[in-house]
Amino acid sequence: MRHENLMRVVSNYFLITLGSLITALGLVLFLTPSQIAAGGVSGLAIIAYHWFGWDPGIIILILSIPIFGLGVMVFGHRFGLKSLWGTIALSVSVMLLGQFLGYEGILTSGDKTDILLAALFGGSLTGLGLGITMKGGANTGGTDIIAQIINHYTRISLGSSLYIVDGIIVLIAAMTFSIEQGLFAVITLFTTGQFINTITSGANYAKMAYIISDKYQEIRDVLTFDCGLGGTMVDSHGMFKNDDKQMIMMVVRNRKVSQVTSIVRKMDPNAFMIITSAQEVLGEGFIPIDPKNSD
């Protein structure tokens, strides 16, 4: 059992490191040279690089560590060492690749076609890398934590909070570089999100999660109040032990599945959890069930 746990830990840290390296490739080869600041701390680092010439990897580290510390102050140690490792691994990867490859990129003509290619391929690489990192049970911190803090202290949903934070960074990029660069950044954001969804949970945009645990109250509180997720408590009855149980049934967007799984695994290793694809989700927080509310 200890050997299996050790192998799982090693596998997770390998995925986090690999994902961070792939994300860094997208930033160094495509997004930084083309002035595409597609949200996140990395977007701020790209803006600072073109403003002041500061190394993006160093800026990512300088900005991410205090944000991570703020997240720990607000939420406790739920973020864990894996996310801190993801933050450091991304920063170091960007610095090393920047030193060896430079920040000139591999698309040399600089016309609009090159920038579009940079937006698409940069978004694909960063999405692939972030998806692999999330598969390892971590993230690279930054604006995700800020969005969680906004959600924690306001009525704004987690998804909306993330859109607000990243939207502000894209707006700063548009004001710094040009409106066209801001629009290219939106393309990159969309591409990144699609790759993250596909890597973490397949092509469908949401999953159904069924969680059965004796610690359902503690799990429910963390998922509801810390993560801003909703769900339904369902009365159930165990066949083997012939006992009454409570089951948490919830719809989870793809990019949050790894976080939910990690929380359940950490809070109750003996929990029983089923994750299945949701073909279509109608209702609050997803597609409005009433067409009148879709405007």
Residuewise pLDDT in 10s, the chain (295 residues)? 566 677 888 888 999 999 999 999 999 999 999 999 988 899 999 999 999 999 999 999 999 888 888 877 877 765 567 778 888 999 999 999 999 999 988 887 667 889 999 999 999 999 899 888 877 877 676 777 787 788 778 877 666 777 888 889 999 999 999 999 999 999 999 898 888 777 765 555 678 899 999 899 999 988 888 777 888 899 888 788 888 888 999 888 777 788 888 889 888 988 999 988 776 666 666 655 654 444 4
Instruction: Give the residues across from 276 on adjacent strands.
Output: 208
Q: Where are the domains of the chain?
A: 2-201, 206-277
What was the pLDDT predicted at 241?
A: 80
d(CA 212, CA 208): 13
What was the pLDDT predicted at 285?
A: 62
CA angle 45, 47, 51 (to 5 degrees): 115
d(CA 233, CA 252): 15
Smallest Cα–Cα separation from 28: which of 82, 89, 100, 88?
A: 100
d(CA 222, CA 219): 5
Please check whether residue 209 is in contact with residue 249, taking contact to mean a CB–CB distance below 8 angstroms: yes
Residue found by looking up tokens 């993560």 in the block: 227
CA angle 253, 259, 264 (to 5 degrees): 115
d(CA 142, CA 136): 17
Please check whether residue 140 is in contact with residue 20, taking contact to mean a CB–CB distance below 8 angstroms: yes
Instruction: Give the residues across from 247 on adjacent strands.
Output: 212, 234
Please check whether residue 56 is in contact with residue 49, taking contact to mean a CB–CB distance below 8 angstroms: yes
Looking at 3.30.70.120, 3.10.20.740, 3.40.640.10, 3.40.50.510, the CATH number of the domain 206-277 comes to 3.30.70.120
What was the pLDDT predicted at 293?
A: 46
76-115 b/e (C-beta count within 10 Å ≥ 16 → b): eebbeebbbbbbbbbbbbbbebbeeeebebebeeeeeebb
d(CA 89, CA 19): 9
Bin 156: left if φ > 0, else alpha if -120 < ψ < 50, else beta: beta
